[in-house]
Structure formats: C-alpha cells, structure tokens
Amino acid sequence: MKRQRKDYRLDPSPIPLAGEPTSLVVNFLDPNGRLEKSFDFSIYGMTPRVAAEIALAFRNHHAGHSPATREGAFHALRRWFVFLGEQNPAITSMRDVDTTTLRAFIAWLDTKPWTKSSRHGTWSVLKQMVRWLKRNRPELVATDLEIPFNAFPRKNAETRPREALSRSEMEAILSAARKDIEAIWSTFQAGKTLLSQVDREAIARERDLSRLDLDDLGVMLAVIVEHYGGLVPPQNVTLERGAGRWRLHFASLKHGGNQKLASYLHTLPETLIPYMIAIGAQSYANPEALRELRRDCMSDHLLLDGREVMTWSKGRSNRVQRRSFLRDKSLSVPHLIDQVVEMTALLMPHVPAHDRERLFLVASINGTRAIKLIPDYLMSKHVRLFAQRHGLVDEKGAPLALTLAALRTTGLTLAHETLGHDILKTQILANHATPDTTQRYIDRPIVRKAQERIIGDLQLRFVEAIRSPHDEADDERDADVATVQAEYATAAGFICKDPLAGVGEGQKTGRLCTAWLGCFTCPNAVIPLDPGVLIRLLSTRDALVAARQALAPDRWRLLYAPKLEILEHDILPRFSPELHLAASMEAAPALPVIE
C-alpha cells in the first residue's frame, strides 16, 4: 500500500488578519495605551469607500512610525482625494483605480507649482498605501494594477542647496549664545541663593501675605514657590476683587515684572533659545529632533572615560542618533543639558503627562499659564528675536536670517572641511543612510572647490607616477629610507648586521628582510648579551612552546620546532646566570600569537 504524503497546507483564513476597511478614524496609542493621535478620514466624504481602504493601509503601514511621519503622510494624502474629486469622480473604491489612473495622478502633480521633491513626496505617500493594499489585501485593488516606477527621476537635482552659515557668522552666533547663557544661568543661580536665605517654611505657613515683606526679593520668590507652585500668578489673580492680593501685583512691578521674577525660578521661551542654539550647533540635530530631546538623553560612554553620549530620535529615521561629548568646557553639551534640566525642574508638576519626559519645557507668562514642551512656532519666533536682539548680520551686512535648521547644515559643512572633505566620514557624523543625503547638506561652492583641488592633486600625482621613469636611483632612495627604519628586523630582540643584504631564505638583495623568526638561523643575526634581549628571547620561547599545543603537529614541526631547538640549546645557554636572574625580575612583553 502506497504511503500517503501529509498535507501541511493551511486553509485560508476567512477573516483577513489586517482587518476590514470600515472605519474612517485611525487612532494611534502611546506605549502606555493612551490616545496619542487620531486621524479622521471622514473629511474625504465624497469617496468614503476609497477613504476607508486608504485608512486601513494607513493604520497598518504607519503603525511603527513617528508622529511627525504620520502627520506628514496624512496631509499628503489629501491631494490624492482632491485629484479624485476633480479628475475621476466616478471612482468609488480602490478596485476602480488602475495603472492609467495612477499615471494621471502623476501628470496632475506635474501641473502644480511645487518642487519636484514635493511632488515626489506626495506620490511616494500614495504609492506606499497602494503597495500595502496590493501586498496584504490584493482583493481590494485591481488584479492587473501596476505601480509606475521612478515617476519623478532625479528628484533632488532641482533642489536648492540648504542654507548654511559661514564660519564667521557661526562664531558670532555662538558668542551671542554664550553671553545669553551666562546671564541666564547667573540669574537662575541668584534666585536659588535668595530662596536659601529666607525661612521658606514660615512663609509657606503664613496665610496673610500682607504681613510679609514683599519688597524683599527672596521673600517674594518664596511666596511664588510656596503658595503658587513656582509659577508667577497672573494679573487677574493678584488683582481679583476682595482677594487681598493687590500687594503681590505692585511688588512684582517693583521687582521688574512677572517676566523678570519668572527668570529667577524657571525657563522661559526666550531663555531656552540660546541653549537650543548651542546644543544644536554642536550635535547637528534636526530642529524637530532637537525640540523633542528627552531629559535622560545623556549617558556615560561605555568605553571612553570622561565622555558622555547624547542620544535622540529623528522623525524620518528608525535609527537612534548618537554623539559623544567631553565635559571640558562651560559650553559643552553635557553642561548645557544639566543646566536646562535644573531650570525646568520646578515646572515638572505642572506639565502634562505626555511632555514630562521632554527637556525643553517652558511656562508662558503672558496670558494663560501654559506649561508644556516649547511649540515649534514659538521656537522659530524667538530664534528670529535672538538674532535681532544681538544685531547679528551676514557677510554682506544684512540682518542674519537665522534658523535652527541652518545650524545642522552649517555644522556638517564645517565638520566636512575639518575632516579633509571626506564625505564618508561626514556621513557617519551626520548619521545618514547614504552619502547622497550628506552631499546635499555639504554641496557648497567652497566645498566643491576644495574637492576639485583634492581630486586634481591626486590626478597630478598619478600622472607623475606614470610619466616618471623607474631607475636605480629610486631603489637607492628606497633602500636609504628602509635602512633608517629597519634597525630591528624582528620582534625577538635580534639586531641585524644588514637587513637589506638578502641573505635570509626567500629574501632579495636591497629589500628589507621580512622573515619573522628567521634570525635564529641567519648569519647576519647579532644577539646583544643584555637583560632586555634575554627577556624577549624567553618570551619567544614561551610563545613557541604554547604554539606546540595549539597548532597542527606537522605544521609546528616544520615551521617552529627548529627555531625552538636552536633557541633552547644554542642561544639561551650563552647568557650568564646573573642575566637570567635579572631578566626573571622584570615583566615580559606580550608577543603576537603564533599561528
């Protein structure tokens, strides 16, 4: 009876594992199970079936991506639905979308006054959704659907070079940041000193604030910390009718206003910006990644003492970004981050849970008391005010258009120059996946001229090497150089009479001898009778004995047994007992493993 083969095939699941395209709302949760972001595709109500199928792909494809990537993809998909409403209103599901429709969408994008890179970005987002459906839910797309390849070739060819600052402009920016940081930190330290000089427990117990000496700045700061959680009360609180807090209002004006009082206690948007500029200029972090730095971003280097590693996440990369720094300067990144952590500590009880792990926390003094991660618009605004306050100008004398994005480009350009215009080293420094991305950062006229000069020098040396005749004078020059560098021909302690004589086995006259351990049987070998040479010879003997246990017997007998025999029976007995005693009292050097 013929034995039947077992069927290991599985029945197709009646329920697709990726779910059904029914919901138009996509929710993403944080690691703690709380709602992180919600995307509502119901705004594309004209094509609800298409919106539900795209929402299904969006939910699954972007499940592991950063919030910034999801946000950008969602807004890019809006253009796809605008195209369907204008050009193909009859399409009711993704099965109606064929290759011709996709090509029409590409042509529609080409009619828009956007850069090629922007058009490619929009197309790329839709292509990811269609590709996910075709791979995971093929029943939802047309059976003969083909996704166009390379719809926007050389998308970066028309991209303008990224804005970068000159070295002198960068030095002026860092000088201004240093001046601000010293003043900000000095004010904060003064606030700590003033708080330490008053009886904070007594002030906390006092209910009638009119009995306190609010003209004393330390008392005023203690009242803010103990009675208002460290946040300067707004005017509608201090001047509330019948509350009896009007003295707080006038005391605040006497001490310079709410802004000045707050600077003694915690960070403000304008006091954070100099720190962000100094950290961004040294870490080369992207603006959004810099803004979202964590409070625990610094850690000790595992291998190098005295160095600390800064780690952060970049929105468009799944790789953790790292740079190491020394604590040898007051403006070093570890020092700056420690100061920001200390100045934002008072804000931690007031910060929403989703921002408590962030570093750059601010409290708004004007209007409502919003305590949170510094918003990007506020960051951009105060960077411009920073440049205006210090009167920063470019090389032409015009007001400097400073942005945090320019710090990364400038830092990489200057680092590329320091690294000898080696793009691979700069790529590693920038944490880029390919040198092409790095090239777009450092593509500057001054960099191109330096690269052309280096390439020209290499080409000139190559041409000279080809055209120059090889004569005996070259050999003599090589021999002279070799003689200077070849006093010791082996690691065993021998001195050679003439390392270029070529008397060793397999050696040529005029060339440096390369026969390691061949000096045992070479007539040119000279063995000085001193403890240092004896120590190396004893180490060589021990290494040869150890190799006997590790190597194949035939290999050891052929290559090393004759050397060991000469060493033990002919060379070592020539040294006196006094030299052996002196050698035994000193540490033997480590020799390479014999293979």
Contact at 8 Å (CB) between 151 and 99? no
Torsion angles phi and psi, residue 182, rounded to 5: -65, -40
**467 contact partners, CB below 8 Å, separation of at least 6:** none
Cα radius of gyration (the chain): 37
Q: What pLDDT sits at residue 11?
A: 62
DSSP class of residue 163 equals: P
Distance of alpha carbon 192 from the chain centroid: 34
Q: Which of 178, 388, 415 is nearest to 424 (CA)?
A: 415
pTM of the model: 0.62
Residue 310 and residue 298: Cα distance in Å, rounded?
A: 5
Residue 298 and residue 309: Cα distance in Å, rounded?
A: 6
How many alpha carbons lie under 13 Å from residue 293 in its C-beta half-sphere? Answer: 29
Q: What pLDDT sits at residue 69?
A: 84
Q: To which H or E segment does residue 189 belong?
A: helix 167-196
DSSP class of residue 92 equals: -
Q: Which amino acid is at 227?
A: H
Nearest 5°: CA angle at 249, between 244 and 250? 110
Q: What pLDDT sits at residue 495?
A: 66
Q: What is the token pair recorded at 317?
A: 């990369």
Q: Where are the domains of the chain?
A: 25-140, 167-197+266-392, 419-466, 487-584
* Secondary structure class of 26 (helix, strand, coil): strand
Q: What pLDDT sits at residue 19?
A: 64
Q: What pLDDT sits at residue 315?
A: 67
Q: Which of 218, 208, 219, 206 is nearest to 244 (CA)?
A: 208
Q: What pLDDT sits at residue 456?
A: 78
Q: What pLDDT sits at residue 359?
A: 93
Q: Give the number of other Cβ atoms within 10 Å of residue 203's Cβ.
A: 20
Contact at 8 Å (CB) between 131 and 147? yes
Q: What pLDDT sits at residue 147?
A: 92
Q: What pLDDT sits at residue 333?
A: 93
Q: Which amino acid is at 283?
A: S
Q: What pLDDT sits at residue 482?
A: 40
Distances (CA, A) of 41 to 48, 86, 101, 446, 547: 8, 18, 21, 48, 72
Q: Give the number of other Cβ atoms within 10 Å of residue 176's Cβ.
A: 19
Q: Can you say whether the dihedral through the CA atoms of 573, 575, 581, 585 is positive or negative?
A: negative
Q: What pLDDT sits at residue 584?
A: 78
Contact at 8 Å (CB) between 513 and 493? no
Q: What is the token pair recorded at 589?
A: 């050097």
| Burial class, 62, CB count within 10 angstroms (exposed 0-12 / middle 13-18 / buried 19+) | buried
* Secondary structure class of 480 (helix, strand, coil): helix
Residue 243 and residue 203: Cα distance in Å, rounded?
A: 18
Q: What pLDDT sits at residue 457?
A: 79
Q: What pLDDT sits at residue 483?
A: 41
Q: What pLDDT sits at residue 567?
A: 81
**506 contact partners, CB below 8 Å, separation of at least 6:** 515
Q: What pLDDT sits at residue 453?
A: 75
Distances (CA, A) of 454 to 231, 350, 411, 425, 427: 58, 56, 21, 16, 18
Residue 176 and residue 273: Cα distance in Å, rounded?
A: 11
Q: What is the token pair recorded at 372?
A: 């949170």
Q: Which of 10, 44, 12, 9 is nearest to 139 (CA)?
A: 12
pLDDT tens digits in sequence order for the chain, 595 residues long: 567 777 777 665 555 555 667 788 899 887 778 888 899 988 876 788 899 999 999 999 998 887 878 888 999 999 999 999 888 888 989 999 999 999 999 999 999 988 888 899 999 999 999 999 999 999 999 989 999 988 888 776 666 666 788 888 999 999 999 999 999 999 999 999 999 998 988 888 888 777 888 888 998 899 888 888 888 888 777 777 766 678 888 888 888 888 899 899 999 989 999 999 999 999 888 888 899 899 999 998 888 888 899 998 876 666 788 888 988 888 899 999 999 999 999 999 889 888 889 999 998 776 667 888 998 888 999 999 999 999 999 888 899 989 998 888 888 888 888 888 788 888 888 878 788 778 777 776 666 666 677 777 777 887 777 766 555 445 544 444 444 344 434 445 566 667 777 766 667 777 767 665 566 667 667 777 778 888 888 888 888 888 887 777 777 777 778 778 888 887 888 888 888 888 777 776 666 666 6
Q: Give the number of other Cβ atoms within 10 Å of residue 40's Cβ.
A: 13
**45 contact partners, CB below 8 Å, separation of at least 6:** 51
Q: What pLDDT sits at residue 516?
A: 55
Architecture category of domain 167-197+266-392 in CATH: Orthogonal Bundle (1.10)
